[in-house]
Every structure is written in structure tokens, then in C-alpha cells.
Copies of this chain bind each other. A is one copy, B any other.
Amino acid sequence: MNQKSHLKCPMDALLHLIMGPWTTYLLWTLSQNGPLRFGVLKRRLPGISSRVLTQRLRMLETAGVIFRDHRATIPPQVTYGLTQRGVELGGVLNDLEVIARRWDMVSETENIPVTQGDTGH
């Protein structure tokens, strides 16, 4: 297997979509502030390059997670925001964050082995 495993598995495709640097921050920023223009977004993600920001926005747009609203005015005005899918994804990311925070708080606690049949799957 290699990085292209997402060509077969929808789960991998989704993880591949959100796993890169900046991506979750980007989604988070959009979910907190609503639709934002390119330049504003760039300023809210201090350190990100135009190149990577553009890549991320294109990926997410292709996946239908964000929308792109382009007005060919001068200067141009391009706004990005979450779609319904983006909101769905945000929900799961929120669950993940709740877990992440909880684990951080109690990182010194025990790790309990789980016997087969208890996993809930």
C-alpha cells in the first residue's frame, strides 16, 4: 500500500482530505467565522503560504466541503465558506477535539486492555 490507498477506500479518502497541515485549522476558522475572503483567511492562519492555502481550498472545494464564490470585480473578490458537508465534517472534528482535550487532561491515567467482544463493533 501507499499514499494512494484513498483511491479505493472512502474512509482513507476522507482522512487524506483532512490530515494535512492547516486543513483542520482552516475548517475550524470557517466554522467559527462563517464565509471569509481569501486574504482574510490567510491572515487568520498566520504563517500559511498562498500556495498551500490555495491547494487546501481547492481540495476541500473538490470534495464538496467548502464552496467558492468568485466575483470578477476589480480587485477580485473570492469568498469561501462551509457547505452542508463541511458542517457535517465539522461535527465529527468537534467530537475528535472533545476526546483530544479529555485525553490531554488525564494523560497520566491507566490504559485498560479491552477483551474481544467489548469493542462495540
Which chain B residues lie closer than 8 Å to A86 at the CB level?
114
On whether the beta carbons of A96 and B24 are closer than 8 Å, the reply is no
- How many monomers of this chain does the complex have? 2
Mark out the residues of chain A between 66 and 112 whose CB falls within 8 Å of any chain B CB in the assembled complex: 67, 69, 81-97, 99-101, 103-104, 107, 111-112
Chain A residues with a Cβ closer than 8 Å to the other chain, count: 61
Beyond the given pairs A34-B116, A84-B112, 10 more chain A to chain B contacts, judged by CB atoms under 8 angstroms and listed by A's residue number, are A1-B21, A10-B103, A11-B97, A82-B119, A84-B114, A87-B114, A88-B99, A89-B99, A92-B96, A95-B95
Interface residues of A (CB under 8 A from B): 1-3, 5, 10-15, 18-19, 21-22, 24, 31-35, 45-48, 64, 67, 69, 81-97, 99-101, 103-104, 107, 111-121
